[in-house]
Amino acid sequence: MGPVTAHGAGDVLPGPGTDEELNGRYRPMRSGGGAGPWKVLSLLLALALVASLATGHWSRQGGGGDGPLADTIGIGLKLPPANLDIRNQSGTALDQLLIGNVYQGLVARDQANRVIPSLATSWDLSEEGRVYVFHLERGVRFSNGHPLEADDVVWSLKDLMDNHYQGSDMLKGYRSVQAVDPHTVRLTLDRPYRNLLWELSGRAGLVFDRQAHYDRKTQAVGSGPYLVEGFRPNDSVVLKADPHYWGREKARTATIHIKYFADDNAAVNALRGGDVQVLAPITENLAGPFRSDPDFTVRAGEDTDKYVLAFNGKGKATSDRRVRQAIRHAIDHDQLIASRGGSDRALGGPIPPLDPGYEDLTGLYPHDPARARRLLEEAGYGSGHPLRLRLTYANTYGSELGDQLRSQLRQVGIQLDVRVVEFPVWLQDVHANKQYDISLVDHGESHDFYQWADPDYYYNYDNAEVRSLYDQAMQALDDGRSDRLLAKAARKVSEDAAADWLFNYRVTTAWRRGLEGFPVNLNQSLLPLWSLTYRRG
């Protein structure tokens, strides 16, 4: 085998990624405000925070940031894991908690969403793009003291594929894996697959101790810088620095308390009172008082969430391209983003800025109600024959977006019936049976363009050119060529108005002065904590 590419610590090879089942990954609407009483609650809480600042009752615990380093840090997060079984339990909560902290993979991702070395210090790719040879770190040990060697990598990958664990379906073209020697692994594919390394940076590439026996639902044995010392399902996790950790990412804080808050009120109070030193995410409406206080920092980070307004490609009305185009021209994205606090980003196509193949496509369908009305007239709709459509989405996203879309589409003559349902109903009616006109969901997964190349996906979008471009992109051996093919395919999908991308959600994080090393980008998917420190005032 003649290697044509050797990747080490300074090299990256980005590629598309995972798409877990929607019933395990959905995220509640993280908007700048809700409808009805939620708006009132947010306003009252914000006013209360401002008042506490004005009267000097704001907690200053740890606010100075010039004292000694704390040995314990509290983190407030949103979505809790029900158990720790990352092989079987779906949901981004486990990726966020365990990957990079407790479990490690052959490769990892950086804050720009690029592949970087992890347990594999480098890798070689054969000329035909089917054989990867990974060179492992030496001296690696699991938290139980067992050495981590090539046999553990081989066992982990075979176990993943044989048992169809979470992530197994993303290793397209997998043929075999074998240990060349204790520090070298050969992975062979049936065909080139551009996404392979990116997939291995998630669940598919995690390396487990083949000799360990433990309850994966409540315990974890990994090679990362932290141990799971305590776990309360749907409530909290305690991470303890592994004193025997082998690598360069040694934990800088001894204990991390992660607390999960379903209620935004409780989360903000915990940050204000010092129970946690960082909160991710925080809604923009509640972040204002923290932005104006010098003892806190508030920042919006990049993420790959795409709020997709899907159009049924086989719907009675939405199968007409002119109708889909009219809807896109009718939507005022700036208004939607402003109503949520202004941190989100306009997104004109299916690939977000952190993913390969991104191109700014926001200019394809600018807000133009007059153009929308002309397109509807061409499609046979008007005052005497109004277009009636139903928007169906899960109640986890609240009602405000539906209300706004109904109002905006009414201005061009579209009568939108908004149906907010329980999530299992959405899964059955929309995702499984494809019985809908328009739907809304937060597709939070990165590198998920393959959805648009799958005619059986719930979009009912079928375009032979897009499928061909995607297949070529996945088999391309050159980064630049792959990205160009993906960009071309994404432009075609957007031109077809297969959906409207309402916005690219950006996570807002707030933390106390003195805290350093918390990742701002992508922290709802991956949250490496080894460099986190907090210097008390």
- Which residues, 6+ apart, have CB-to-CB distance to 290 below 8 Å? 49, 271, 282, 296, 298, 510
Beta strands 387-394 and 438-443: pairing type?
Answer: parallel
3-class SS shares of the chain: helix, strand, coil, % to 5: 30, 25, 45
pLDDT of res. 207: 98
Angle (nearest 5°) at CA 398 between 397 and 402 = 95
What is the C-alpha separation between 417 and 493, in angstroms, rounded? 26
pLDDT of res. 65: 59
Sign of the CA dihedral 460, 463, 464, 470?
Answer: negative
3-class SS of residue 466: helix
What type of residue sits at position 528?
P
What is the C-alpha separation between 22 and 423, in angstroms, rounded? 10
DSSP string of 82-138?
Answer: S---TTT--SHHHHHHHBTTTB-BSEEE-TTS-EEESSEEEEEEETTS-EEEEEEPS
User: Between the CA of residue 145 and those of 38, 148, 167, 254, 429, what are the distances in Å?
Assistant: 50, 9, 27, 19, 50
C-alpha 458 chain-centroid distance: 20
Of residues 485, 458, 461, 455, the one with CA closest to residue 473: 485
Name the phi and psi angles at 325, rounded to 5: -65, -40
C-alpha 221 chain-centroid distance: 25
Digit-by-digit pLDDT tens for the chain (537 residues) are: 433 333 343 333 323 333 344 444 444 433 333 333 333 333 333 334 333 333 333 233 334 557 899 999 999 999 999 999 999 998 899 999 999 999 999 999 999 999 999 999 999 999 999 999 999 999 999 999 999 999 999 999 999 999 999 999 989 999 999 999 999 999 999 999 999 999 999 999 999 999 999 999 999 999 999 999 999 999 999 999 999 999 999 999 999 999 999 999 999 999 999 999 999 999 888 999 999 999 999 999 999 999 999 999 999 999 999 999 999 999 999 999 999 989 999 999 999 999 999 999 999 999 999 999 999 999 999 988 999 999 999 998 989 999 999 999 999 999 999 999 999 999 999 999 999 999 999 998 899 999 999 999 999 999 999 999 999 999 999 999 999 999 999 999 999 999 999 999 999 999 999 999 999 999 999 999 999 999 987
Crossing angle of helices 37-54 and 284-291, rounded to 10°:
10
Residues 364/348, Cβ–Cβ less than 8 Å: yes
Of residues 505, 496, 454, 489, the one with CA closest to residue 328: 496
Angle (nearest 5°) at CA 22 between 17 and 24 = 95
Residues 268/17, Cβ–Cβ less than 8 Å: no
First to last CA, the chain: 58
- Whether cis (ω within 30° of 0) applies to the bond prior to 233 is no
Q: Which helix (DSSP H) or strand (DSSP E) does residue 185 occupy?
A: strand 184-189
C-alpha 172 chain-centroid distance: 21
What is the C-alpha separation between 434 and 116, in angstroms, rounded? 39
239, two tokens: 């991470």
